[in-house]
């Protein structure tokens, strides 16, 4: 990451972009014509027709001359590296690898590959909450989904329930070397969720054998095996202090607009009260731990942490 000023930083949520025609090869010809004629496709296409949206634009000398000054200002298809792989500091062919193999949890553990949850499949806001008698709220992205402060709130609810069930049912214990990740789902929920699971385990342990068999408190299993990315607008320092230094890790959501223009600056500011080893974990070591064998050797280094 060229804006990291020489520090070792691993980004747990950076995205490569696809063109509007990325699905075209998979359509039957008759259906492809209907897809291109659909209102949704035409609206999205019109919204995304902007300078920089082609490989030709990215090789233009004038466009490339402005990269350093605009690295965090250019987003989506205008982002440096969106079209030309050589422009990306590091690129791993994990997608090709993943497309050829389907892992069970046991195989994932043996392969050293984490299991990740990512925003996009979460519970959506019940539309009844929009019937409030107030004027319509502008969309955060400027798109047609009307993503707002209220619809933001349920984003982590599904992953909270899913992970809690995996922990209570003993899946984390059956695969103690398997790492799990919650990516672009925020992390302000994390400390309270950990305490709620500990409280639930204490309250129901007498009647539930599965809870009696857990090797540790649910919060300790989280610290051992789960890694979560805060949003840049969240107080990462508070999250680290409350959840422990093992869990949170850096992500920019680059080049998407959700990550903002200065994610590194915002995280640096929120982490100012944390111990140096906790900051090191956040920016690099927790990602190395999460990725395991999935991280190329050239992107790894020995993890040497100093006790706080």
Predicted confidence (pLDDT) per residue in 21-41, tens digit: 666 787 788 888 888 888 877
Residue 245 CB partners (closer than 8 Å, separation 6+): 274, 275, 277, 278, 281, 282, 308
Question: 101 with 186, same domain?
Answer: yes
Q: What is the pTM of this model?
A: 0.71
User: Has residue 196 been placed in a domain?
Assistant: yes
Which H or E run includes 51? Answer: none
pLDDT of residue 233: 93
Burial 153-189 (b: 16+ CB within 10 A, else e): eebbeebbeebbebbbebbbbebeebbbbbbbbbbbb
Scan for tokens 């990325």, then name that residue.
Answer: 22
Question: 71 with 99, same domain?
Answer: no
User: Has residue 234 been placed in a domain?
Assistant: yes
Question: 227 with 107, same domain?
Answer: yes
Question: 172 with 43, same domain?
Answer: no
**Mean per-residue pLDDT, 145-173:** 91
Q: Give dist(CA 227, CA 278) in Å, integer.
A: 14
**58-116 pLDDT tens trace:** 888 988 888 877 776 776 677 777 778 777 653 334 344 334 444 567 878 888 889 99
At 235 the three-state DSSP class reads: coil
Question: 77 with 105, same domain?
Answer: no
pLDDT of residue 166: 95
How would residue 2 be classed by pLDDT, with cut points 50, 70 and 90? Answer: very low
How would residue 141 be classed by pLDDT, with cut points 50, 70 and 90? Answer: low
Q: Give dist(CA 213, CA 168) in Å, integer.
A: 9
User: Has residue 11 been placed in a domain?
Assistant: no
Question: 208 with 73, same domain?
Answer: no
Q: Domain containing 295: what range?
A: 94-119+155-299
Phi (first) and psi of residue 193, to 5 degrees: -65, -40
């Amino acid at each position: 990451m060229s804006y990291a000023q020489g520090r070792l930083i691993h980004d747990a949520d950076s995205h490569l972009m696809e063109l509007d025609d990325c699905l075209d090869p998979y359509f039957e010809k008759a259906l492809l014509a209907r897809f291109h004629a659909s209102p949704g496709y035409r609206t999205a296409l019109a919204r995304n027709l902007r300078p920089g949206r082609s490989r030709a634009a990215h090789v233009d000398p004038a466009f490339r001359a402005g990269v350093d000054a605009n690295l965090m200002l250019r987003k989506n298809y205008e982002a440096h590296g969106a079209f030309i792989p050589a422009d990306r500091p590091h690129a791993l062919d994990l997608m090709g690898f993943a497309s050829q193999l389907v892992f069970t949890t046991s195989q994932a553990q043996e392969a050293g590959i984490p299991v990740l949850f990512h925003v996009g499949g979460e519970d959506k806001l019940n539309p009844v909450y929009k019937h409030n008698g107030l004027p319509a709220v502008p969309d955060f992205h400027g798109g047609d989904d009307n993503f707002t402060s209220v619809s933001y709130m349920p984003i982590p609810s599904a992953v909270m329930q899913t992970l809690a069930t995996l922990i209570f049912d003993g899946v984390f214990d059956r695969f103690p070397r398997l790492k799990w990740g919650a990516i672009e789902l925020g992390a302000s929920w994390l400390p309270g969720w950990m305490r709620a699971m500990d409280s639930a385990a204490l309250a129901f342990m007498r009647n539930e054998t599965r809870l009696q068999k857990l090797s540790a408190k649910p919060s300790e299993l989280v610290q051992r095996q789960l890694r979560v990315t805060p949003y840049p607008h969240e107080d990462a320092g508070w999250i680290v202090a409350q959840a422990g230094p093992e869990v949170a890790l850096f992500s920019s959501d680059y080049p998407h607009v959700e990550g903002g223009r200065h994610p590194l600056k915002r995280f640096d500011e929120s982490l100012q009260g944390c111990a140096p080893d906790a900051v090191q974990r956040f920016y690099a070591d927790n990602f190395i731990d999460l990725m395991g064998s999935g991280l190329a050797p050239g992107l790894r280094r020995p993890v040497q942490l100093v006790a706080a």
